[in-house]
């Protein structure tokens, strides 16, 4: 995802990866730092939520250290 330039392209790449694997809240949190605007972060979180393995931590993802 670091090689991809635009936020929308990052989300498109992630959607392709969803077919192969899921993400943890810790990974979602780390990857959300790659997005430059609040709007693109929201799009990212909206797209990744169904593919998050421990989504019960999602409401408190900023505080989750796991």
pLDDT in tens, 4-16: 889 999 888 888 8
Contact 48, 28 (CB under 8 A): yes
Q: For 33-51, what is each residue's pLDDT tens digit?
A: 889 899 999 998 899 888 8
The pTM for the full model equals 0.74
* Residue pointed to by tokens 């990857």: 31
Residue with the larger pLDDT of the pair 57 and 10: 10
Residues 6+ apart with CB under 8 A from 1: 10, 13, 14, 31, 34
């Amino acid at each position: 995802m670091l090689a991809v330039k635009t936020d929308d392209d990052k989300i498109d790449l992630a959607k392709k990866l969803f077919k192969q694997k899921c993400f943890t809240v810790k990974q979602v949190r780390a990857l959300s730092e790659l997005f430059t605007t609040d709007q693109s972060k929201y799009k990212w979180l909206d797209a990744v939520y169904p593919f998050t393995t421990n989504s019960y931590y999602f409401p408190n993802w900023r505080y989750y250290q796991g």
